Amino acid sequence: MGTAVTATPAGKDPTVPLWRAAVLLRVLTLLFAAGVTLVYLDEYARPWLALATVGAMAAWTVVIAVRYLRPSGPVLGFTVLDLAVCCALMCTSRLVLTPVQLSVAQAPLVTTVWVTGVVAAGAVCAGPAVGAGFGAVVAAFNYGVRGYVDTDLTRDLVLLVGVGFVLGLAASSSRRSAERLAAALRAEAATAERDRLARSIHDGVLQVLARVRQQGGELRGEAAELARLAGEQEIALRALVSTGHVSTQDGTADLAGRLKLLASGRTEVSVPATAVRLPAAVAGELESVVREALTNVAKHAGPDARAWVLLEDLGDEVVVSVRDDGVGIVPSRIEEAEREGRMGIARSMRGRVTELGGTIELETAPGVGVEWELRVPRDGTPR
């Protein structure tokens, strides 16, 4: 449920407050462990080893404080080392405590609750699964050092695993919330910039293109052709500045936004009012297929042919239809083109859709135009 992460500089990682809390927990539990050791010092089998263990715990607390409060690079490897050190220090209790103290739990281990800090560190670092795993390892060493199993030790197991899991969930949720906030801020900044550019373009370029289209449309010859081209560019530019984001940081893209950019004087594009999010690779492949179909319209459908693109979002799949009112295709012509080595339809269109796990259908006849229908699963992935 959790994955290892790479720490970022303080102030950027949303889990920095949790790291600080984990270090503070280690310091407080160290003071508690030192106090318990002083209370039981005269009863230990090896008092000097108990003091040495506390000294090692203090030194290691300083080390982890420096590492966790100033994280740089991967932290998971260090937390595993932290776990190993804590478990090793727990094992010294077998030499410090007398057999009676170990067997009937008259005295706590030298480390006492200090080892719970490593469970918190693992949870903050890599999420609930790792946090629960660290808690289980610490509990297992607790069983091993004591040499028996009872209700109290099992209660410690439940608490350690539960605390690791809950803290891991909190850390993971914090990271996801920070990522969503960052994405929203980026989107807001991009929208503001796009609106600023749209105003600038509308006040300049679009007005010039519109005037060329209007004035040139009253003339003939090359002037009329230039007016037609200016009109197509005006439509395309208006679609560009009015279209929202076509891609996001999470690996998805808005197919509707991409297809709207294909609109021109001879092509009308109809898409849902809301974004149609697909994996970016899938959206890119579908856009390429539609472009290929529109290219065929421009080349083969006739000088006056118009094209229509329709996008439908059916939930588990998307359907894209590309239709024109051109001269149409003789069905046998497609097979003939494949034999001649012209693979535009066979490879560029059918091949792309097939690799996405979808289907492509063609309806055509001489004089009635061409209609392509593409059906692709929403989670399709190119091979």
Which CATH number do you get for residue 372?
3.30.565.10
Q: What is the pLDDT of residue 69?
A: 85
Q: Considering Cα of 334, then 340, then 342, then 343, what sign does the dihedral take?
A: positive
CA distances from 221 to 209, 228, 234, 306 (A): 18, 11, 20, 21
Helix 116-126 × helix 16-40 angle, to 10°: 170
Q: What is the pLDDT of residue 28?
A: 93
Which residues of the chain, if any, have pLDDT below 50? 1-11, 245-246, 343, 383
Q: What is the pLDDT of residue 72?
A: 66
The range of the structural domain enclosing residue 169 comes to 6-181
Q: What is the pLDDT of residue 7?
A: 40
Residues 163 and 23 both lie in one domain:
yes
Q: Residues 265, 225: contact at Cβ < 8 Å?
A: no
Residues 176 and 267 both lie in one domain:
no
Q: What is the pLDDT of residue 192?
A: 75
Q: Single out the residue in 122, 153, 181 at which a domain terminates.
A: 181
Residues 255 and 149 both lie in one domain:
no
Rounded-to-integer distance, Cα 372 and Cα 328, Å: 12
Residues 151 and 17 both lie in one domain:
yes
CA distances from 311 to 4, 82, 286, 287 (A): 39, 54, 11, 11
Residues 49 and 165 both lie in one domain:
yes
Rounded-to-integer distance, Cα 266 and Cα 306, Å: 5
Residue 186 placed within a domain? no
Residue 42 placed within a domain? yes
Residues 149 and 275 both lie in one domain:
no
Residue 337 placed within a domain? yes
Rounded-to-integer distance, Cα 143 and Cα 267, Å: 74
Q: What is the pLDDT of residue 49?
A: 93
Q: Single out the residue in 150, 181, 212 at which a domain terminates.
A: 181
Q: What is the pLDDT of residue 207?
A: 66
Number of domain units in the chain: 2
Residues 38 and 166 both lie in one domain:
yes
Residues 260 and 167 both lie in one domain:
no
The token pair at 365 is 């006849």
Residue 343 placed within a domain? yes
Residues 273 and 176 both lie in one domain:
no
The token pair at 176 is 């996801």
